[in-house]
Amino acid sequence: CTLSIRGAFFPKTLPGFRCDDPHIRHPFRGDTISLPQLLISVSVLPAIILLFLEYSGERCLRGALCRTVSAMSEYVVGVLLVATATEVMKLFVMELRPHFLASCRPDWTHINCSQGLVTQYSCTNTNDPASRRVDIYKSFPSGHASLSFYFFAFLTMYSNIRFQGEGRWGHRLRLLQVTAALAAVACSASRILDRRHHVQDVLSGAILGLLGGIVTIRWLAKGIQQTQESTSSVAVKPR
């Protein structure tokens, strides 16, 4: 659903711009982290990490697989909700990307910059794919930030609830959580450095991702705690 939204709808009313706006005059530099790379990362890495944590906690592969599949099913629902919310907000807000002028290449012969806000214009990038022509109007919020911070929030809160009270996990969990946080920050910062988003786009995306992670974990919290309690009871059961 979300992927179909990305290029399916071209805005009927184009957002206006000012010719002297420095925020939309940057060159297009491409993506340090492409969308496919991001989607693979937020889909595959959580499964590997959760399976490793669950197996290390009990040394039972079958049980670890069952718990990982259960957690990942809820994780994927959260990813889809965050991604869809991000795309819907992009379609409604329609903020111009920092490289808008370079990518749109407006027909300046029909534009009067002295009128201030330019609302009647046409782009000459007609040879570009439809998804790229629509993408220049979808700066807010950052999808990279929302998904990467969702991954960080989910992983951090899940591991805290799932392994609470198990002191032997303390340092390793903190290292894992800090690494996830740094990865989310690096991914988000790359969007600003690549001139693909404005600062407010990235901050808003990060907040959206954090909220998505919190809501998903709240939904899962009871089941996670029950799993943790059952695992603990098995561990202390006399032989």
The DSSP code sequence of 26-59 is: PPP---SS-HHHHHHHHHHHHHHHHHHHHHHHH-
How far apart, in Å, are the Cα atoms of 223 and each of 10, 31, 62, 71? 42, 38, 18, 9
- Residue 23 annotated as catalytic: no
Q: Is 197 annotated as catalytic?
A: yes
Given 26, 110, 144, 171, the catalytic residue: 144
Cα distances (angstroms) measured from residue 131 to each of 4, 9, 11, 12, 81:
10, 9, 12, 15, 21
Cα 174 off chain centre by: 22
For the chain, what is the radius of gyration of the CA atoms? Answer: 22
Which residue(s) pair with 17 in the sheet? Answer: 118
Given 26, 99, 171, 197, the catalytic residue: 197
Sign of CA dihedral 16, 22, 25, 26: negative
**Active-site residue list:** 144, 197
